[in-house]
Structure 1
Amino acid sequence: MNEAPIGPVDSSRVPRFAGPATFARLPRLDQVGTADVAVVGVPFDSGVSYRPGARFGPSAVREASRLLRPYHPGLDVSPFERVQVADAGDIAANPFDIREAIEDIEAAASGIDARLVTIGGDHTIALPLLRAVARRHGPVALLHFDAHLDTWDTYFGAEYTHGTPFRRAVEEGILDTEAIGHVGIRGPLYGRKDLEEDRRLGFGVVTAADVLRRGVDEVTDALRQRIGERPLYVSVDIDVLDPAHAPGTGTPEAGGLTSRELLEILRGLAGCHLVGADVVEVAPAYDHAEITSVAASHVAYDLVSLLALQEKP
């Protein structure tokens, strides 16, 4: 873009608690015309298997993002000055028909000419987002941060739920199975076969206990080696965090990552060929003092910053 990017509302002129709640108080996409990076919401949670409420995640994360500031010292970048970042609003998806909703999300995401950081919504939305990214880049590497594998086959005979998106993505050939992995996995499973089937699909697993024992730097180095220079999609289920750091989610599991660990691993991906990302499963009805929404807003901010770093200013 030839003109300087339009950044957030000046907090010295308009208090952070005033005005429309776009992500980080950024301009809307229709106000800037085009953007390098767009933050978009998908208020959809018809694919959940336990507690509903993630449909209210995008609005809660936007509210919690009001305090984000324009310079990221951890990555030494001012993302909103380096590239044009805008809030693209919400993608409307059919709440009564999951297959149609997936088609709605894929079509809308494909129609936004920018790299997307998407705020969900439940994890079902990762499948259509991956389809849209693969349409542009071919099969992509995947880093999936989650307490759960999300590679189950079906729930009650349903192929499309928040627990199945990555099995479907492998089956559809939109993931590069030489570079796909989970981070933060923990908690009980239905049986050993869950891990065996997940391994058969091509996934590597870094458990929450691995992060504790090996440390952030060693884990991040291993992830980078696996990814290489491939186009990378990052999907963050906020329940990768321990419930102490993210109580507002639909399927909480004890023993998770701290918000500090998650953010440091993400920052360690600087220089990777990131092509898109999502942050999902924020269910504000179960939150306390915006703990989960604040964590999710910082995760989204780090993902935006990573995308801004690799764009030419």
Structure 2
Amino acid sequence: MELIDRPTHLGVRPRTFMRLPLDRNPTARDLVVLGVLYDESGRCPGARLGPGAVRDASASAHVDGADRGPGTFDLLDCMDGGDLDLTPWIAGTAPDILYKRLSHLLGRNAAVLLLGGSRSLTLAALRAVAAIHGPLALLRLGADPAGSHSPDEFLARAVAERLVDPSAVVGVGVRGAAASGGAGGGLMLDVGRFGRLGVRGAAGLVRHRIGRRPVYVSVAVDVADPAFAPGTGVRVPGGLTSREVLGLLRCVGDLCPVGFEVTGVSPPQDRSGITAALASEIGGELIHQYARAQRIPM
């Protein structure tokens, strides 16, 4: 799918994330943003439109580094790599296509931030990142931290493939299935326990559990209450506020992140654009925290 120039209130600019330069064949970049156009059948129709909506929201709302300290993109060499359009492909082949594309990108660049609608491709992303960095720590936020699978099933598959270290998994979720037990060896925090801990306490648990292992950070915007993210297809009240989500992600700069994804945006279910705006804020925060994690003076 081609990215096109379109007008915004800031003028005519490429439709890229945070108005980054567009490079469809990036090499030797610190971080590449890649849109993944894919609808998970039946769960979140319209999710393939999520990356475009997030780009539009970020381009209209941001000036580089305006709210996270000056010069983030002067310190990091970031590019928007365009879109990987998986919509023509059947579900059985989409993970393989994504794996090959990410393997190619990560063989030539340091890290990737995925913008997507569907959360069903996380295992494919983990396969590509783990092939380079070995078994990963995992920080996963979502209404159900396992997406279309139960937490036990998702972690069991990831552990069986040696994609993640089960002792270094933290999930923050809304549903009771993500209760604070320890599905598959991981630490699962439901919103009740998160609320008792607060952002600072939860961030402390994340730092303690993950340490300096290479970590993949997956954020589905439906971890936020529907008041803050109505366009996800999830109508479970009691989720995190947008401030809590962004506050928790600020601990990522204290870790060793090696890959990111922001998923769960379905524009047809949110004409207000609030969900895409939150997703763009999350993506911007993750890029800033990646810069912090590189120990770049800011």
* Alignment TM-score > 0.5, same fold: yes
Separation (CA, whole Å) in 2 of partners of 1:54 and 1:151:
14
User: Which string of whole-angstrom CA distances, capped at 9 and with x for unpartnered residues, describes residues 209-238 of structure 1?
Assistant: 222222110110111000011001100011
Could you list the structure 1 runs, at least 4 aligned residues long, displaced by more than 6 angstroms after superposition: none
User: Greater shift after overlay, 58-67 or 202-211?
Assistant: 202-211
Separation (CA, whole Å) in 2 of partners of 1:132 and 1:151:
19
CA-CA distance at 1:165 after TM superposition: 4.8
TM-score (normalizing by structure 2): 0.87
The aligned runs of 1:241-256 (5 Å cut-off) are 241-256=224-239
Separation (CA, whole Å) in 1 of partners of 2:288 and 2:140:
18
Residues 200 and 30 (structure 1 numbering): CA distance in 2 closer, same or farther, change over 3 Å? Answer: closer
Gaps of 5+ in 1: 1-13, 155-161
Separation (CA, whole Å) in 2 of partners of 1:78 and 1:309:
12
Contact 2:220 2:264 in 1 (8 A): yes
Partner of 1:11: none
The counterpart of 2:158, out of the listed 158, 166, 169, is 169
State the aligned residue count.
286
TM-score (normalizing by structure 1): 0.83
The counterpart of 2:274, out of the listed 282, 287, 291, is 291
The aligned runs of 1:8-87 (5 Å cut-off) are 16-30=10-24, 34-46=28-40, 48-66=41-59, 67-71=61-65, 73-74=67-68, 76=69, 78-87=71-80
User: Which string of whole-angstrom CA distances, capped at 9 and with x for unpartnered residues, describes residues 23-75 of structure 1?
Assistant: 011101248754211110101123x443311111000000000122222655x
CA-CA distance at 1:260 after TM superposition: 0.5
| Aligned residue type for 1:104 | I
User: Which string of whole-angstrom CA distances, capped at 9 and with x for unpartnered residues, describes residues 109-153 of structure 1?
Assistant: 111122011011211121111111000000000011011142776
The counterpart of 1:110, out of the listed 80, 103, 107, is 103
Contact 2:179 2:189 in 1 (8 A): no
| Aligned residue type for 2:114 | T
Cα-Cα RMSD: 2.6
Gaps of 5+ in 2: 1-7
Q: Secondary structure at the match of 2:139?
A: strand
The aligned runs of 1:139-288 (5 Å cut-off) are 139-150=135-146, 165-183=154-172, 185-187=173-175, 189=177, 199-288=182-271
CA-CA distance at 1:167 after TM superposition: 3.9
Contact 1:92 1:104 in 2 (8 A): no
